[in-house]
Amino acid sequence: MSGVALRRVLPGFVPTLATTLIWLAALIGLPFAAMLYAAAGLGWARFWHVIMQPRVLADLRVSVWTAFAASLINALFGLLLAWVLTVYRFPLRRVVDALIDLPFALPTAVAGIALTTIYAPSGWIGQFLAPLHLQIAFTSFGIVIALMFVGLPFVVRTIEPVIEDLEQEQEEAAMLLGATLVQTFVRVILPTLLPALLTGFALAFARSLGEYGSVIFIAGNRPMVSEILPLLIVTELEQFNFPGATAIATLMLAVSFALLLVINLLQGWMARRNAP
């Protein structure tokens, strides 16, 4: 009705925004601020000395490349899996769909133990790879397997709603104009899915970069070979080297933020490019 103010369930903009900012500051801002404050107390020279140690740089390299590889593989197969679950109907579809969310509910340590049991040299799959001189468990490739396990749901669940909203008329129009199935996918479907695909990749990458529980059992944890940066932070804490752990954690925070910022900027650029 005109002349009658619309009543909203939530209060006005100012108290809502203030409550949100206070909550975010208490939940996220304060822990990060405390860590940055502790890192600043080390001084630039000491901080630089800690993060430039060969073991720290090697663990950072292992963490980044395994998280990137696992997220890239999840982006490819997650897109295929989301497409199959959304477009097709087949027996046990609901069971497969429920299995996608299993990494959300399963403790990561349990996942790590299960994966180690499977891919160890004497495991269900590892025993067949051992005669070929292929080893998954206790190597960096085992880290990739574990990170694929924990990151897959982020990709699938991000892409599924976009696939459901695809307009079939565009695909039919492309085929009527003589486009092949590959051309239709690359030029019509993929540009629509790409922003969601990048979002799923970013979420999986962020999750993988800080993963700990599922990795430590299958990685082998050899320093400078198959040791991840979160494990090194825990090691420093167990040795009561709190300044060193703080410096390494700050480095990991900076790298994670920079990589996610780049991915989000790329995602925004793709969204603007594909906007009508």
What are the pLDDT digits (tens) for 68-81? 999 999 999 999 99
Note the helical H segments in the chain: 13-24, 30-40, 44-51, 54-87, 93-100, 102-105, 108-119, 126-129, 140-164, 168-176, 181-184, 190-209, 229-238, 242-274
Query: Mind listing the pLDDT tens digit for each residue in 154-166?
Result: 999 999 998 888 8
79 vs 8, higher pLDDT: 79
Backbone angles phi, psi at 249, to 5 degrees: -65, -40
Q: How far apart are CA 204 and CA 144, in angstroms?
A: 12
User: Taking 60 as the threshold, does the pLDDT of residue 142 lie above it?
Assistant: yes
Split at pLDDT 50, 70, 90, the class of 270 is low
The lowest-confidence range among 13-27, 180-194, 211-225 is: 180-194
For the cut 90, the answer to whether the pLDDT of residue 108 exceeds it is no
Given this model, what pLDDT does residue 56 score?
93
Domains of the chain as residue ranges with CATH: 9-40 (no CATH), 54-274 (1.10.3720.10)
Residue 11 is predicted with a pLDDT of 64
Distance of CA 236 to the CA centre of its chain: 25
Q: Give residue 220's region: left, alpha or beta (phi > 0; psi -120 to 50).
A: left
Lowest mean pLDDT among 22-36, 118-132, 227-241: 22-36
Phi, psi of 233 (to 5 degrees): -60, -45
Q: What is the pLDDT of residues 34-45, one digit of tens each?
A: 888 888 888 888
pLDDT (0 to 100) of residue 14: 77
Give the pLDDT confidence score for residue 10 in this predicted structure.
58
d(CA 273, CA 134): 44
Banded pLDDT at 153 (limits 50, 70, 90): very high
Mean pLDDT of 126-138: 89
pLDDT over threshold 60, residue 6: no
Distances (CA, A) of 119 to 12, 107, 147, 177, 271: 56, 19, 14, 49, 40
Token duo for residue 78: 């997650």
Confidence of residue 274 (pLDDT cuts 50, 70, 90): low
* CA angle 197–151–30, rounded 5-degree value: 95
Work out the mean pLDDT of the chain and round it to a whole number: 86
pLDDT-based confidence at residue 3 (cuts at 50, 70, 90): very low
pLDDT at residue 1 is higher than 50 = no
Select the highest-mean-pLDDT range: 14-18, 147-151, 191-195, 209-213: 147-151
Contact call for residues 122 and 187 (beta carbons, < 8 A): no
Report which listed range, 30-39, 126-135, 166-175, 182-191, is most confident: 126-135
- Between CA 37 and CA 40 the distance in angstroms is 5
Q: Which pLDDT score, from 0 to 100, does residue 276 have?
A: 60
pLDDT of residue 143: 94
pLDDT tops 50 at residue 13: yes
